[in-house]
Amino acid sequence: MADAGAGSLHGGDAALPYPPEEQELSQRLRRLYPAVNQEETPLPRSWSPKDKYNYIGLSQGNLRVHYKGHGKNHKDAASVRATHPIPAACGIYYFEVKIVSKGRDGYMGIGLSAQGVNMNRLPGWDKHSYGYHGDDGHSFCSSGTGQPYGPTFTTGDVIGCCVNLINNTCFYTKNGHSLGIAFTDLPSNLYPTVGLQTPGEIVDANFGQQPFVFDIEDYMREWRAKIQSTIKRFPIGDRLGEWQAMLQNMVSSYLVHHGYCSTATAFARVTDTTIQEEQTSIKNRQRIQKLVLAGRVGEAIEATQQLYPGLLEHNPNLLFMLKCRQFVEMVNGTDSEVRCFSARSPRSQDSYPGSPSLSPRHGSSNSHVHSTGADSPTCSNGVMSTKSKQSHSKYPTLSSSSSSSSSSSPSSVNYSESNSTDSTKSQQHSSTSNQETSDSEMEMEAEHYPNGVLENSSTRIMNGTYKHEDILQTDESSMDSCPQRQLCGGNHAATERMIQFGRELQMLSEQLCREYGKNTMHKKMLQDAFSLLAYSDPWNCPVGQQLDPIQREPVCAALNSAILESQNLPKQPPLMLALGQASECLRLMARVGLGSCSFARVDDYLH
């Protein structure tokens, strides 16, 4: 499947790649202007065929400009603007123009103009128009009268125009050398502009299509250092102690939120901060997150229902998201609703020691998993369901078994033993392990999946962080021996269960629609999930990105936040809120034309 990133057309089909030169342009623009959101504020990439005087002709991808008028006097002057104005988030913007031919008289102007400025003029002659002219070397600042500025320019010269949106100035370069400040107090939203006046004049623009003659990146580095120095020198004064304590609490809450249990405990001990949530509760959330990130969404739903009764019932949107994700994982063959139908390797029988209802000590015999026919019991998360189990949810049960709700509060339940059939062993284990279980003991090991997840590979999950590459990356010899991925692991009974689950998911969608009205997001999630079945190879189809393990992360984050909110804890850690606020402030700065936002990026302080 084609990557929908830099190598695809904006807003188009992911299967249509950029030409190599367009990819190079996109990469260079991202490197030069990383703070610019090109979805909101596109960068100039060419001259506009719609925003020009009719004496201007364009060619070579609208980068070459030639004059096609009479050229008798100044009334025959003609200009063209770029496709888009210069975004303030650039901080510093630069483009170059090469003089292909000076024509008859070389009456050429290079500069900037606002939207609406008359194009029957050279840049600089009218209000909100600025230009550097080749015939006399003068600069024109919203006036027909120029001021001496630099040398003249002619055929073969490369003239650059740099707009500094931090101090609102502009300078030009000639053949890679700066000519000094030409204009100050520039307004925002100016367009690169070029004007010609006599026959034979031809110029080529470079908006990043080629490396620039002038070293603009060195100039940008100077200004980045200035802005960051200003930030570092910001006076804190007598409130330093308050700030330190606040930051320590923010870091602590971040670690707790994401389930970094041991790290949070060590940090709290060193900084003398208090953890608001009990350690067992943190570990319960951590285990649920691990299940989701491992693709075992059915087990995560069961665990959530047991540890946090009523949570999903009161969050129908979250429940539906989880069920849609579970269907995707069933297609992938990773959810235990379908994995239980596949024969297991000896090692996988006792995998995931920290999870419920999977190893033999947590449930009844596995002999039923190979049964077929209408009378065979349905396998849910590795445990054979019986008719005595009743679901108390108001929504249709999408799993044939449901966990019994625990009477204990989530903070006092050790989830690793909550489903044990040996209650005595469970109690003994809980009494000794609740306080002693370290993060390293909660690492989970990947089972043998017939769908391309390597047998006996180790899935290292430390402190709540799931490293997908540890499962998915392998050497070539391992890949050669790995069976081809198949729908539901290639098992017919598992496929039947997946289809049944899909019907139940459709019923849930209809019920939610009756109770809460139409939900376009639900409809799209369901359509996307079901669309996987339309392709013989779901992993390489237009909607196959759903099967990428990274798509589990937003589902995991949503479930984690809901659990925290149900416990009257912040659903987002204050540190993330502060970073989000800082990023939003930078976006607002860009919208109002404060160019310094480009060199005060949050990411620069996180890496």
Three-state SS sequence of 53-97? CCCEEEECCCCEEEECCCCCCHHHCEEEEECCCCCHHHCEEEEEE
Is the pLDDT higher at 552 or at 438? 552
Is the pLDDT higher at 318 or at 601? 318
- Is the pLDDT assigned to residue 500 strictly greater than 50? yes
CA–CA gap between residue 180 and residue 293 (Å, rounded)? 56
- Is the pLDDT assigned to residue 400 strictly greater than 90? no
Region class of 407: left (phi > 0), else alpha (psi between -120 and 50), else beta: alpha
3-state secondary structure 285-312: HHHHHHHHHCCCHHHHHHHHHHHCCCCC
pLDDT at 387: 35
* Residue 168: CB atoms within 10 Å: 15
| 8-state DSSP, 215 | -
Tokens of 516: 């809460």
Is the pLDDT higher at 70 or at 58? 58
260 — pLDDT class (breaks 50, 70, 90):
confident
Tokens of 86: 């210069």
235 — pLDDT class (breaks 50, 70, 90):
confident
CA–CA gap between residue 44 and residue 39 (Å, rounded)? 13
- Is the pLDDT assigned to residue 418 strictly greater than 50? no
Position of tokens 């019923």?
507
Q: State the first-to-last Cα distance of the chain, in angstroms, to the nearest integer.
A: 31
What would the pLDDT profile of 126-140 be if each residue is shown by its tens digit? 999 999 999 999 999
CA–CA gap between residue 130 and residue 142 (Å, rounded)? 6
- 293-307, 418-432, 585-599, range with the lowest pLDDT: 418-432
45 — pLDDT class (breaks 50, 70, 90):
very high
Section 248-270 average pLDDT: 89
Angle at 356 between CA 353 and CA 359, to 5 degrees: 55
- Is the pLDDT assigned to residue 473 strictly greater than 60? no
pLDDT at 396: 52
Section 483-492 average pLDDT: 76
3-class DSSP assignment, residue 17: strand
Average pLDDT over the chain, rounded to an integer:
77
What would the pLDDT profile of 64-105 be if each residue is shown by its tens digit? 999 999 888 889 999 999 999 999 999 999 999 999 999 999
Angle at 554 between CA 550 and CA 557, to 5 degrees: 120
Sheet of strand 169-174: strand arrangement: 56-59, 64-67, 201-206, 92-102, 158-164, 169-174, 177-183
pLDDT at 394: 53
Tokens of 229: 């120095």
CA–CA gap between residue 285 and residue 259 (Å, rounded)? 7
- Is the pLDDT assigned to residue 518 strictly greater than 70? yes
pLDDT at 239: 67
pLDDT at 211: 94
Bridging pattern class, strands 169-174 and 177-183:
antiparallel
- Is the pLDDT assigned to residue 163 strictly greater than 90? yes
Maximum Cα interatomic distance, the chain, rounded to a whole number of Å? 102
Task: Name the nearest CA neighbour of 120 among 160, 82, 69.
Answer: 69
Please give the single-letter amino acid code of residue 124. G
Section 524-540 average pLDDT: 92
Region class of 323: left (phi > 0), else alpha (psi between -120 and 50), else beta: alpha
- 10-24, 303-317, 501-515, range with the lowest pLDDT: 10-24
pLDDT at 490: 80
pLDDT at 232: 83
Element containing residue 257 per DSSP (H, E): helix 240-257
Taking the model in full, what pTM does it have?
0.59
Q: What percent of the chain has pLDDT over 90?
A: 49
- 302-306, 551-555, 602-606, range with the lowest pLDDT: 602-606
pLDDT at 342: 63
209 — pLDDT class (breaks 50, 70, 90):
very high
Section 316-332 average pLDDT: 94
Position of tokens 């003659």?
213
| 8-state DSSP, 348 | G
CA–CA gap between residue 529 and residue 332 (Å, rounded)? 11
CA–CA gap between residue 117 and residue 120 (Å, rounded)? 9
Highest mean pLDDT among 158-167, 280-289, 579-588: 158-167
pLDDT at 455: 36
Is the pLDDT higher at 34 or at 452? 34
Tokens of 475: 């050497």
What would the pLDDT profile of 360-382 be if each residue is shown by its tens digit? 223 333 333 333 333 333 333 33
CA–CA gap between residue 171 and residue 590 (Å, rounded)? 21
- Is the pLDDT assigned to residue 438 strictly greater than 50? no
3-state secondary structure 352-387: CCCCCCCCHHHCCCCHHHHCCCCCCCCEECCEECCC
CA–CA gap between residue 490 and residue 498 (Å, rounded)? 12
Position of tokens 């540190």?
575
Is the pLDDT higher at 508 or at 470? 508
Cα 462 to Cα 332, 355, 603: the distances in Å are 24, 15, 24
pLDDT at 522: 92
CA–CA gap between residue 48 and residue 371 (Å, rounded)? 68
- Is the pLDDT assigned to residue 216 strictly greater than 60? yes
Cα torsion for 415, 547, 6, 604, to the nearest 10°?
A: 0
Angle at 138 between CA 135 and CA 140, to 5 degrees: 115
Is the pLDDT higher at 257 or at 11? 257
162 — pLDDT class (breaks 50, 70, 90):
very high
pLDDT at 602: 81
